[in-house]
Amino acid sequence: MQIDSGFTFVLFGGTGDLSMRKILPALYEAHRAGMLSEHGKIVAVARHAADRDGYIEWVNSNVKTYVSKGGLDENVWQRFLERIAYVKLDLGKPEDFALLRDALDGHAGTRVFYLATGPSLFVPICRALASVGLNENARIVLEKPLGYDLRSSNAINDAVGEIFAEDQIYRIDHYLGKEPVQNLLALRFGNALFEPLWRREWVESIQITIAEELGVEARGDFYDNTGALRDMVQNHLLQLLSIVAMEPPHSMDSDSVRDEKLRVLRALKPIDTRDISKIAVRGQYHSGVIKGTSVPAYATEHGVKPQSATETFVALKVEIENWRWAGVPFFLRTGKRLAERVAEIVVNFRPVPHSALGAPALRPGANRLVIRLQPNESIRLYCLAKQPGEGMNLSSVHLDLAFDQFFKEGQMEAYQRLLLDVINGRLALFVRRDEQEAAWRWVEPILNEWAASNKPPKPYAAGTWGPAAASAMLAQHGTCWLEEEN
Ligand code: BG6
């Protein structure tokens, strides 16, 4: 899809990790695929490079390795670099923003300010942009984490909201840009097949897992002040949950979808802190072995306090208090240094009410839908079938939809989709302020309870599936985490 008007994409934090690994590669890929207007410009803003030549040198030596998907065509790359301008700017000096305004003068089309910086800079940058009139008719993109708790996120949203209207603000949750998450909407609302079953009468439980093999990498300091609940649950997992559980929206326009997600977030059963040990497990990884490689304990990672009580694993039992889902447990789980990198949604259907065919048909999980978000995106439906031969012996079989076998076009990276959406003014895949507030409001009692507790997180060896307590929590409901190689 070719957009006709030009744009100026101003990238704050132009030499940061995110720009290097995600944003510039995604822009390159969109450029390579012919999805960017030929009048589109990228204006990188940073402190480190002295001038444009210095910045381009940095891009050449740092970004190229992350540009892999479509391969790097040197001619295309050179034309991509021609789009890039550079403004050296000290964010601590609001007067430098006059330089930026002058540099943007004469650039027509949509104006996007992407803040790939720490959240402490969001408000100063917005104020400085407003002081030189650059907030008008512009879009602002805010990266997570947006705040540390409800109060700090409200403070940022209030201050940014004085400068930009809500429909100018694009809060990124990159999970919403992932192709399989989009596919979940297609699966649920494009097929008559699943919707009648997608409710308490037929669904016994739902699991959502985002497991990582990676540890905290170079972000020990940030992570130690954040933890898995803030880093993954408040945003990615609750967003996935809201898409799995939402009512069919009347259209795919941004507010219809976001209104329905919000209803789910507001219907989450409030945390009763007296039950916290029954509905929430937190863990921290110790040393261990992942795919044959020894990895150190979290507490010895660079930037992490040796006595840290920060959780690197969370498992939760969540309930949704509405007609569709009352009484159905949703089990959420995320962790670093787990046995495998996998993100998936598992819908366990109830067994048949009466089986004339014997016990297997009564087994929970006999019918199960597994939506694998990564890696190897696929949808797998488990059913029972008769084994060939004499007698009526049932076996578990599955119907598979592996996207890479069906569709020849490669999948679009989450950041590429989201950046194109910002440039094209599509808000549906960005988190609205009220959604974010509802999510913070729900997680906060857990955060507070854990902060007040003197019990440390439960240890687990790196390379395993987390503390045993996470499995025990599901066992109480007669179920277990689905952990199988795909
Ligand atoms: C980020 C978290 O939002 O998501 C990281 O801050 C995490 O800690 C990452 O590693 C996971 O994203 P993905 O797309 O690799 O699953």
CATH of the domain at 40: 3.40.50.720
In a domain, 391, yes or no: yes
Does residue 292 form part of some domain? yes
Q: Are residues 76 and 188 in the same domain?
A: no
pLDDT over 80 (residue 123): yes
Q: Which of 96, 120, 143 is the last residue of a domain?
A: 143
Q: Does the beta carbon of 149 sit less than 6 angstroms from any atom of ligand 1? A: no
> According to the model, what pLDDT value does residue 365 have?
78
Atom of ligand 1 nearest to the CA of 374: 16
Tokens of 441: 């409001």
- Strand-by-strand arrangement of the 458-461 sheet: 394-402, 378-386, 368-374, 342-349, 203-211, 330-335, 313-318, 280-286, 458-461
Q: Is residue 164 part of a domain?
A: no
pLDDT for the residue 70: 62
CB of 173 shorter than 6 A to ligand 1 = no
In terms of domains, do 262 and 375 share one?
yes
Atom index in ligand 1 nearest the CA of residue 173 equals 3
- The answer on 442 and 324 residing in a single domain is yes
Distance 125 CA to ligand 1 centre (A): 25
Could you report the per-residue pLDDT of 354-384, keeping only the tens digit for each?
Answer: 888 877 777 777 899 999 999 989 999 999 9
Please state the atom number of ligand 1 nearest to the C-alpha of residue 226.
6
- At residue 428, the pLDDT reads 94
211 domain-assigned: yes
Clarify whether residues 137 and 241 are in a common domain.
no
Place of tokens 């100018």: 168
Q: State yes or no: pLDDT of 2 exceeds 70.
A: no
Number of domains in the chain: 2
Atom 2 in ligand 1: which residue has the minimum CA distance? 231
421 domain-assigned? no
Q: Are both 47 and 94 inside the same structural domain?
A: yes
Residue 83 lies in a domain: yes
Q: What is the pLDDT of residue 19?
A: 94
Looking at residue 145, its pLDDT comes to: 83
**Domain end call among 92, 122, 143:** 143
Q: Which of 33-37, 38-42, 117-121, 263-267 has the lowest mean pLDDT?
A: 117-121
Q: How far is CA 464 from CA 149, 215, 445, in A?
A: 30, 13, 28
The per-residue pLDDT for 163 is: 97
pLDDT at 69: 63
Residue 60: pLDDT band by 50, 70, 90 thresholds? very high
pLDDT-derived band at 486 (thresholds 50, 70, 90) equals very low
pLDDT band at 430 (very low <50, low <70, confident <90, very high): very high
Say how far apart CA 287 and CA 297 lie, in whole Å.
4
- Per-residue CA distances from 73 to 29, 68, 70, 433 (Å): 11, 10, 9, 40
Please give the residue range of the domain that contains residue 107: 7-143
How many angstroms is it from 6 CA to the middle of ligand 1?
A: 31
CATH number at residue 341: 3.30.360.10
In a domain, residue 168? The reply is no
Whether residue 53 sits in one domain with residue 125: yes
Q: State yes or no: is 236 an active-site residue.
A: yes
Does the beta carbon of 231 lie inside 6 Å of ligand 1? yes
110 and 198 co-located in one domain: no
Same domain, 183 and 323: yes
Q: What is the mean pLDDT of the chain?
A: 93
Q: Is 212 in the pocket of ligand 1 (CB under 6 A)?
A: yes
Asked which of 94, 123, 143 is the last residue of a domain, the reply is: 143
179 ligand 1 Cβ < 6 A: no
Which one has a higher pLDDT value, 287 or 106?
287
Distance CA 127, CA 165 (A): 14
Confirm whether 18 is domain-assigned.
yes
- The DSSP bridge partners found for residue 399 are 381
Same domain, 88 and 185: no
Is the CB of 435 inside a 6 Å radius of any atom of ligand 1?
A: no
- Going from the Cα of 200 to the center of ligand 1, the distance in angstroms, rounded, reads 31
- What does the alpha-carbon distance between residue 86 and residue 75 come to, in Å, rounded to a whole number? 21
Q: How far is the CA of 174 from the centre of ligand 1 (A)?
A: 8
Q: What percent of the chain has pLDDT over 70?
A: 98
